[in-house]
Amino acid sequence: MWRGSGKFLLQLASVLLCAFEVAARRLVVSPTTTFDVRSYGACADGVTDNSQAFLGAWNAACSSSGDVKMLIPAGTYFLNPVKFKGPCSNVNTLTVYLQGELKASTDLRLYGKGDDWVEFGHVKGLRLTGGGAFDGQGSAAWAYNQCPTKKYCHILPISVKFMRLNDTIVYGIKSVNPKFFHFAVLHCENFEASQMYMEAPEDSPNTDGIHITRSSGVVIHDSIIRTGDDCVSIGQNSTDVFISGITCGPGHGISIGSLGKYLDEGDVRDIVIRDCNISNTMNGVRIKTWQNSPSSSSVTNITFENIQMSNVGHPIIIDQTYCPNNLCDHDNDKVPSRVSISDVHYKVINGTSASPVAVTLNCSSGIPCQNINLENILLNYVGGEPSTAFCAYARTRFSGPMLPLPCN
């Protein structure tokens, strides 16, 4: 017999089986609005690259009309980097119905500079649902992440990027072990995501759950995020963002920022974060801006309301001297942040702090925070001593029950 013939025959059988399935499905008359990836060569063996088959189904759906569906049935599909692009001019809604599990390649050479794993771009009316999962297989890449030690670093691939979309709904999708962010929402309008489950180890670097930037009309609600960085992060030029019903932890909490790192960043305004449970995280609700910002920008009209904290390192924090892992230019480390913060409201935030300082308002000495309101705050230190608050360059107003005691 041939050496290794058993392995060869198994591989040959797998290829033939996939080929037979494709041929059989092409004979089946299916509704013209549904485009099954298996009809375009997809094979759920967990080994075969399905990027071209998926693109075939996407392109057929995108060039169709009305309400169309791209079906990814149950099974494990190996998938190299792929970009699903529009515009889909005659389509009302394009539903990607993901029932299976997608597994990313661990070969970083396959990802071009700036490329991510799965990207949806330039589409109106995208729907992503079906209960399936994205597995970024990030554990093979985290050792190559230089961002914790370099201010300007090569960014690893994001698992799913939503780019320049309008009228988007994501529902009931799972994401595990991304190489970098789970999801990124960039240049989007009217984007809603709910019933998400996201998970990565607590020590996995830069694995933000959902990162939002340069977007408006974004709603994220009723989801569970357990990861190694921010559960939700809101970046520059984001407006009208509503976050609610998030169960967060472990991770770094829910953050606005970091801001002020790059030149000519856009303002952040009209953000509501409410009805969330945050537990065993480094931070709770945070606004973070880099010191020595290269240009001016602002954060205004922000509401954090009805947040339950449990064993959170810094439950309420404004940090305008943000400099993770001592990455700042030490010659300029005393130059204050040029990001102005105003009209921030903290209401009904209760629970426990893992550190004695439960409230930190560390604002810019160059542009002090204006109109910071805290109402009905009850945060006990788990160590037993009374919790405390720290304020610097912050114009604050306290009302209702307050623990820790107000600071000036």
For residue 129, the one-letter residue type is T
Contact 394, 363 (CB under 8 A): yes
Contact 224, 165 (CB under 8 A): no
Query: What is the spatial distance between Cα 284 and Cα 348, in angstroms, rounded to a whole number?
Result: 13
Query: What is the spatial distance between Cα 130 and Cα 73, in angstroms, rounded to a whole number?
Result: 9
Contacting residues for 186 by C-beta, under 8 A, at least 6 apart: 161, 162, 163, 164, 213, 214, 215
Q: What are 63's two structure tokens?
A: 């060039």
For residue 17, the surrounding DSSP H or E stretch is helix 5-27
Q: Of residues 187, 252, 314, 345, which has the active-site annotation?
A: 252
Does 314 qualify as catalytic in the annotation?
no
Query: What's the angle, vertex CA 96, arms to CA 124 and CA 177, rounded to 5?
Result: 110
CA 261, 262, 266, 268: dihedral to nearest 10 degrees?
-10
Task: Name the residue with tokens 């094979």.
Answer: 43
Classify residue 6 by burial, with Cβ atoms within 10 Å: 0-12, 13-18, 19+.
exposed
Per-position DSSP letters for 36-65, written without gaps between them: EGGGGT---EEEEE-HHHHHHHHHHHHTS-
Query: What is the spatial distance between Cα 220 and Cα 166, in angstroms, rounded to a whole number?
Result: 15
Q: What are 83's two structure tokens?
A: 């970009």
Give me the active site residues, please: 252
